[in-house]
Homo-oligomer: A and B are copies of this chain.
Amino acid sequence: MKNTKATIHEIAAKLNITASTVSRALNNNPRISEETKKKVLKVAKQINYQPNHIASALRSGKSRLIGVIVPTANRNFFSSVIRGIEDLANNLNYKIIISQSYDEYDKEVQNIEALLNARVDGIIASFGKMTDNFDHFLKVIEKGIPLVLFDRTADVLNVSHVILDDYLGAYQAVEHLIKSGCRRIVHFTNIQRINIYTERKRGYEDALKANGIEVDPELIVYGSMQLEDGRRLTEELIEKGVDFDGIFSSADYAVMGALQVLKSHGIDVPGKVKLVGFGNEPFTSFTDPTITTVDQKSIAMGKITAETFFEILNSKETEPISKKTILKPELIIRDSSK
């Protein structure tokens, strides 16, 4: 049975501290020591203390809700980042609510409105691919509501963010293909020029140049980076008779499409064409052959994004903090590039 009657007074009695100290500890007040917070959380868990957030929100004017905007929660990358954010938030007695933009600008604008309407205490977001105007995020900043961006960001917004070193990830992926013997490496890139894709393209080009291989514009092809795009782009390369021995795709879904088409044409992977994707989606380890890809450190990104968020939320500074973190990606070598 759930003990729904547990109160902060019980916690206080057990630890021989005041109820107000318990309340402050549960609300992550910076004046309370980490040691006390840990003890309070432990006892709260033991006696199954269920805080009354609504009453607490009414008292404090805080909702203890954080709004998270992502293009879609149905991608391993975004769901892992959300999990990382959620784990820390829940430990600090916050809940997160998610809103999806489906990469549509209008929906993203409405998401911001909906989350403000839900009285969130702050917003954590990753842009949609179509977002090239940032007024909706500026509105959040102007209202003094904490905002942290991850992965998909824009330098024009001087706001705290956590991103991956996409340039480095691409550079290492292409260098790996070159070391595996590839000379004619195709690059699948997104038709939308958001930061992550321009950085991956830059990494691709620089790795080629650094290894004495000229960048051939014929080998750089554009799509929306879905499975179908990968299929279409690969069919087109084969139809046109383009000579290539490797593909570095800026997304795993597109490289999966390439693998399907190459197999259906009887082109051996990795014998004739070697493949590297980006994202480490779970299916890349299911395919035959398994797909080499770049891991985006999504759990770490979620954790650091949440830490950055709470630092800003708890900051007593009048000037907002702007903190930028860049994570190192990891190349996961599997059978498609051996």
A→B interface (CB under 8 Å): 2, 50, 53-54, 57, 63-65, 67, 72-76, 78-79, 82-83, 86, 90, 95-100, 102, 107, 109-111, 113-120, 133, 135, 227, 256, 260, 282-283, 286-288
Contacts and interface: CB of A to CB of B under 8 A. Distances in A.
B95 A111 contact: yes
A98 to B, nearest CB: 4
Contacts of A110: 50, 53, 90, 95
A63 B97 contact: no
A241 B232 CA distance: 45
25 contacts: A2-B109, A2-B135, A50-B110, A53-B110, A53-B117, A54-B113, A57-B117, A64-B114, A65-B117, A65-B118, A73-B73, A74-B75, A74-B79, A83-B102, A90-B107, A95-B111, A95-B117, A97-B98, A97-B99, A97-B115, A118-B118, A118-B120, A260-B286, A282-B283, A287-B287
A200 B267 CA distance: 41
Given A79-B73, A117-B64, A50 B98 contact: no
Nearest to A70: B73
A64 B95 CA distance: 20
Nearest to A78: B74
A91 to B, nearest CB: 12
Contacts of A64: 114, 117
Contacts of A111: 95
Contacts of A107: 90
B74 A100 contact: no
Contacts of A67: 97
Given A72-B79, A98-B98, 6 more contacts: A53-B117, A54-B116, A67-B97, A73-B73, A95-B114, A286-B286
Contacts of A286: 256, 260, 283, 286-287
